[in-house]
Amino acid sequence: MRPISEIKKLLDELSHRPARDLEDQDLDFKEWNERSMADAVALVVEMAVCMANGGGGTVVFGINDKAVGREGAILGVSTDVDVNRLKKAVYDSTDPKLTPVFEELKVSEGTGRLLVMQVFPGLPPYTDTSGKGKIRVGKDCQPLTGTLRRRIMVETGETDYTAQEVAESPQKHISATAMEQLRRIARQEHAPEELLRKSDLDLLGILGVIRNGRLNRAGIFLAGKESSISQYFPGYVWTHLRMKSDTRYSDRADGKDALPVALIRTTERIMADNPIATLEQGLFHFEYRTYPEIALREALLNAFCHADFRLPGPVLIKQFSTKLEISNPGGFIGGISPENILHHVPVPRNPSLVDALTRLRLVNRSNLGIGRMFEAMLIEGKEPPMVQEEGDAVKVTFFRRELSASFRIFVAEESRQSRMLTVDNLLILHYLLHHPELDSTNAARLCQRQEDEAREILTEMEQGFGYLERGGAGRGTYWVIRPDLHRLLAGPGHPERDRRIDREAAKTRILSVLRQRSERSEQGLSNAEIRQLTHYDRAQVKSLMNELRLEGVTVLEGKGRGARWVYSAQ
């Protein structure tokens, strides 16, 4: 990719030569279509796909690439064109998603503004959402044919970057320190002792990273010397920053260590600022870290194992006073997204590496790592981690929160009674401690389940466990935490939440249900049903419904137990 400073120098060349003469594999100039915004955006998407498939590059919009002379060549891009919308359009219109960087370049000619699109190399092939794509070959964007797609697969090693064999004997690359740390971590995870007692070469052979006497890249990353890692993983580095603000840090450490060494070093740095809370239960005192160690380990292992080692960029750990961020280069693959990651079938980016770690019991093939991260935070009454995809990177954020002693004791006691709370149960309880109610639609989104699955979970928590109460009816059904359980989980010093929905929200809910029943020619609502719907007492319901009657939107029909409030369309 070309920096802005270089683009400025190239623009001076336009005085005596056309822009097309300056184009190269990683550089193109395009005229902006002022007649049709849709066509202009389509060209931006096409060029982003083309450059990404060709290894990345720079596209300068606002240039007539045939004209000679700055006045005729530099036409510019209208100031009405929103850079953020362009970025969103590219993201929404590409598969896998691309997030190029747009920069404005001020000029004296034309509209006075050029747009420079920087496209990073990624994991091709890329297409638009209709499946069409091009690839940069020299100065041209050529159709991404089957032959070119196969060539991309071969050239990028997409089948498995970590499976590629390396030159020279394994002994030249293996680090004794890395092997010792690898055994130490595996022993902590109860890997078979007979496996760990094997010689270095035999152990690596059983792990599948030495075949026919040749070490592969996965073996280098697991047990290699720093010099070997630098040679075969040139873009890899881990960085830990203690952040003073969003843009400033007070302390920094970097490393190109083998995975077990990197895991230990990064964990130790995080733990240096990971306070302990003590919880007394009878004669026992239990200690809990602000960030649970199991959650940290799973997040770090995910970051190292699923990093795209073809992309330059660190496994980055940013430790703020209020949160901890762990990110790795390489976006989601195989259809995984933040919205389905809890239950999606695992898709390893580096199968050879993951296979070796699985045999050591450091990772598993059942996608349990993400669930463990969520569970470790939730059982202590803390917020679950936030998982995001930011361009060609995945970021996991842990928020620094105090231990909820009452919630942790509750989970422990339920466990002793053989009620093992799932991540779904914990997510729902955590949500309802901070919100007045939850319906099946929002529960499905929260738990990343189908709505019928979410409804079954809510019903079990209501009827089986007795944690919840049901309100409303039909499409208006919702659940709340049982009052006594809310008081228990809220803990001392925590003001009890008013579970009754406020007056305006109550009116809205009642009118919504009445309108639905009216459309289906069903009976209206009785006072008892309204009390269940709102959690109001008799006097409050009477006052509320009189207000709605005076507003002319409801009418009371019938008398006594047969009285029903109905919707009055006006």
CA distance 231 to 220: 10
Res 152: pLDDT: 62
Res 172: pLDDT: 94
For the stretch 239-259, pLDDT in tens is 999 999 999 999 999 999 999
Assess whether pLDDT exceeds 90 at residue 500.
Answer: no
454 CB neighbour count, 10 Å cutoff: 23
**Segment 4-32 mean pLDDT:** 93
326 pLDDT tier (thresholds 50, 70, 90): very high
Assess whether pLDDT exceeds 70 at residue 360.
Answer: yes
**Contacts (Cβ under 8 Å, ≥6 apart) of 346:** 365, 366, 367
Query: What DSSP designation does 493 have?
Result: T
**Segment 25-48 mean pLDDT:** 95
Helix, strand, coil fractions of the chain, as percent rounded to 5: 45, 20, 40
Maximum CA extent, the chain: 94
**Segment 16-34 mean pLDDT:** 93
Res 483: pLDDT: 83
**Segment 82-88 mean pLDDT:** 93
- Between 200 and 345, residue with greater pLDDT: 200
CA distance 448 to 424: 9
Residues in the chain: 570
Considering the domain 159-403 in this protein, what is its CATH number? Answer: 3.30.565.60
Number of helices (H), then strands (E), belonging to the chain: the values are: 23, 22
CA distance 217 to 353: 8
Share of the chain above pLDDT 90, in %: 64
CA distance 65 to 55: 22
For the stretch 133-189, pLDDT in tens is 999 888 999 998 876 675 565 445 456 889 989 988 999 999 999 999 999 999 988
Residue 461 token pair: 């928590």
496 pLDDT tier (thresholds 50, 70, 90): very low
Report the topology of domain 503-567: Arc Repressor Mutant, subunit A (1.10.10)
The residue ranges of every structural domain in the chain are: 4-156, 159-403, 415-490, 503-567
pTM above 0.75, yes or no: no
* 10, amino acid identity: L
CATH number for 4-156 (one of 3.30.465.10, 3.40.50.720, 3.30.950.30, 3.60.15.10): it is 3.30.950.30
Q: Could you tell me which CATH class the domain 415-490 is placed in?
A: mainly alpha
CA distance 27 to 523: 69
CA distance 488 to 197: 50
Domains 4-156 and 159-403 share a fold: no
Average pLDDT, the chain: 89
CA distance 252 to 240: 6
